[in-house]
Structure 1
Amino acid sequence: MSLPFLRALRRDRFFQLLMIIGIGLSLCVPFAPRRWLAAIDWHTIITLSGLMLLTKGVELSGYFDVLGRRMTRRFATERRLAMFMVLAAAVLSTFLTNDVALFIVVPLTITLKKLCAIPVNRLIIFEALAVNAGSLLTPIGNPQNILLWGRSGLSFTAFTWQMLPLAVAMMLTLLVLCWFCFPAKALQYHTGTRSPDWQPRLVWSCLGLYIVFLSALELKQELWGLAIVAAGFLILARRVVLSVDWTLLLVFMAMFIDVHLLTQLPALQAISGHIGTLSGPGLWLTAIGLSQFISNVPTTILLLNYVPPTLLLAWAVNIGGFGLLPGSLANLIALRMANDRRIWWRFHLYSLPMLVWAALVGYGLLLLR
């Protein structure tokens, strides 16, 4: 294990917190380490690995510099640029999933910081909120929707239609917030920025590997897809493999194990038996509240054992992606890529009010249906 990797783990306070929580939980439930590996969603880990490699490849190719320079010429003000990035994140998340959308827009946003003076942390926070809002629209926008869609028996269009009111309400809210949080001042360009020196060959190679990887995912051969992507970068540009933030994968593994241990707590198991008897408001608050601590995807899996895939459940677990950091794994991905400790607490200044607003508006819309 390399020294840079160990140094990254020592600096990773969130990973250390997850380890402490895991140790504490393991003392309260039957000690069964063999089950811990089974608790990890390896499909997610492998998918994240491939996406991280592909995104880092495009980033190191210099193409984000080219794209960022074109964007800053097109959008003259900070507000216009911010609203475009938020909309782009939301639209991409509807069909590419929220995680993939972030792997595209966040590195591009970080590149924009080199070209002009923009509040990068604030913009990344809004992009994280945008993918949570945009991805709830379609059955393939996020993992919880995929689960709910499969259980519901609805068509693609029928599922999208039932999610449309909430998606529209959340996106309008975000755009209004964006309007007030990003001023209409002209973008201030940094002096002395050189014309981007990029590598077209590496960009086209990333595109080809991306198509291969997506095809492998579709064929349920994700491990072979990852092997091809990794081998391709080892041949074309070994620095891509060395530059990826591999500690993110350990964070996700620790989260999966912690959630598994949490669900084994006798107190939680006793409560779970009463979920099927909850009223509408009770299930609404339970799904949103539980998502804050074990994330909305495990919450969906847990609740589907006791209640049908209703519209109320679909809206509640998607709203649960706002609020605290663990509410959605997309939050963690966005903030980790920002690589700034200050963003972790600033995120909650926007996400917690968004959670309260989304819960109130969402339930109001349900009553109107």
Structure 2
Amino acid sequence: MTMLLRPFLHDRLLHLLILLGLALACFAPFTLAQLPVAVDWPTIVTLCGLLILTRGIESSGYFNVLGRRLVLRFHTQRRLALFLVTAAALLSTVLTNDVALFILVPLTLTLKRYSALPINRLIIFEALAVNAGSLLTPIGNPQNILLWRHGGAGFAAFIWQMLPLAAVLVSSLLLLTWVAFSAERIQSTSQESSPPQWQRPLLWISAGLYLLFITALEVDLAVWGLLLVFVVFLLRARRILLSLDWSLLAVFIMMFVDVFLLTRLPLLQPALGYVSHLPAGGQYLMATGLSQVISNVPATILLLGSLPASTLLAWAVNIGGFGLLPGSLANLIALRMAKDPAIWWRFHLYSVPMLGWALLIGWALFLGIHAV
């Protein structure tokens, strides 16, 4: 019981969100019955399943094997960083940004066992990479799924409208990666003379359930998929369930509740009515700025009530994933998995300038395309 409660007692972000929710509740009209409905439960179910399965693969020890091979394969920090950033961007286009992070961040954390690498910086760049890569496809992130379903563009047409921004941002991030990481050879710090041991049964069970769970998500059977995962781990690896960061789910639940209460504030309602009357530049800044405060998925849901699912809105909310930590839920996932307090402020040293660059280049591309 102590193991389960410890994350909740020490999670300062969760405590802050609870206090914020209590403060908003004093001014926002709502009923208690509305609060459970405000939570995006499919997202919570998805996160829960991915948390369990990723910890299963991590506990199997296979990430140690793979991490050792990566250090031996890529001889410099720069090459390794370019590989991980490229992998994060590509995976996020087909597996969504959060799934890509659940695969790569635990793998990255194992690299510290074999070399003196800037692990925090690698994780930060992976978070930036999934934000840049996932904007390309309709299934890359939740906000694109919403925009794709509300808009009239087909799958290929959606990719075509996002391609210019995705190409420039991913290229810019790879250039920044080349500058930010040293060309020095990776110095091994491991004293292991033989390859690390790993638990094959746990890996195969976790990997098999991973594929089944992703399939269940695709066919809208996520709850049944989660139930299967939970039962198997309860029978075969109960300690993994006890050691999970369950407070992360509570953080996401409170974020949804706080966003709901924020949107119910009387002062905010008239402002939303004026959004559709803003010029294109105003809508662009509004969507990006709102994403910085309440995250780009809730911002998309909120703005789709006033704006069409246009290229401008799609670009703006995806750009809003950069910048401040709340801009994208993927940022929170990556930094939480790092388990290092220093990474929270270091993230903004790269993410905020990336937001400024994305805003400028996005607007320039938009004007250029519509001027043709």
Identify the TM-score tier after normalising by the shorter chain. over 0.9
The CA RMSD over aligned residues, in Å, is 1.0
**Distance in 1, Cα, partners of 2:368 & 2:160:** 15
Does residue 1:251 correspond to 2:261, yes or no? no
Contact preservation (8 Å) 2:275, 2:307: yes
Q: Tell me the TM-score normalised to structure 1 length.
A: 0.98
Which AA in structure 2 matches 1:100?
Answer: V
Q: What residue is the counterpart of 2:335 in the other structure?
A: 335
Which AA in structure 1 matches 2:317?
Answer: V
Q: What residue is the counterpart of 1:10 in the other structure?
A: 9
Q: Which structure 2 segments of 5+ residues have no match?
A: none
Q: What residue is the counterpart of 1:41 in the other structure?
A: 40
Q: What residue is the counterpart of 1:191 in the other structure?
A: 190
Q: What residue is the counterpart of 1:367 in the other structure?
A: 367
**Distance in 2, Cα, partners of 1:58 & 1:237:** 11
Q: Tell me the TM-score normalised to structure 2 length.
A: 0.97
Comparing 291-300 and 149-158, the one that deviates more: 149-158
**Distance in 1, Cα, partners of 2:88 & 2:296:** 20
Residue 12 of structure 1: how far off its partner (Å): 1.3
| 1:341-352 superposed matches below 5 A | 341-352=341-352
Comparing 196-205 and 315-324, the one that deviates more: 196-205
Does residue 1:276 correspond to 2:284, yes or no? no
Q: Which structure 1 segments of 5+ residues have no match?
A: none
CA offset digits 1:170-225 (Å, max 9, x no partner): 11111111111100011011132363110111111112111221222222121111
Which AA in structure 1 matches 2:53?
Answer: L
CA offset digits 1:115-144 (Å, max 9, x no partner): 111001111000000000000000000000
Does residue 1:205 correspond to 2:197, yes or no? no
| 1:66-145 superposed matches below 5 A | 66-145=65-144
**Distance in 1, Cα, partners of 2:224 & 2:137:** 28
SS of aligned partner of 1:266 = coil
Residue 30 of structure 1: how far off its partner (Å): 2.0
Comparing 151-160 and 325-334, the one that deviates more: 151-160
CA offset digits 1:345-369 (Å, max 9, x no partner): 1111111111011000000000100
Residue 307 of structure 1: how far off its partner (Å): 1.0
**Distance in 2, Cα, partners of 1:223 & 1:309:** 29
Residue 58 of structure 1: how far off its partner (Å): 0.3
| 1:200-349 superposed matches below 5 A | 200-349=200-349
SS of aligned partner of 2:308 = coil
Does residue 1:57 correspond to 2:56, yes or no? yes
Contact preservation (8 Å) 2:113, 2:190: no
Comparing 300-309 and 330-339, the one that deviates more: 300-309
Q: What residue is the counterpart of 1:162 in the other structure?
A: 161
SS of aligned partner of 2:267 = helix
Which AA in structure 2 matches 1:145?
Answer: N
Residue 17 of structure 1: how far off its partner (Å): 1.2
- Percent identical pairs in the alignment equals 59
Which AA in structure 1 matches 2:340?
Answer: D
Comparing 335-344 and 149-158, the one that deviates more: 149-158
Comparing 234-243 and 140-149, the one that deviates more: 234-243
Which AA in structure 2 matches 1:355?
Answer: L
Residue 82 of structure 1: how far off its partner (Å): 0.6
Residue 31 of structure 1: how far off its partner (Å): 4.7
**Distance in 1, Cα, partners of 2:248 & 2:135:** 24
| 1:19-38 superposed matches below 5 A | 19-38=18-37
SS of aligned partner of 1:44 = helix
**Distance in 1, Cα, partners of 2:3 & 2:241:** 13
Contact preservation (8 Å) 2:4, 2:242: no
**Distance in 2, Cα, partners of 1:161 & 1:20:** 43
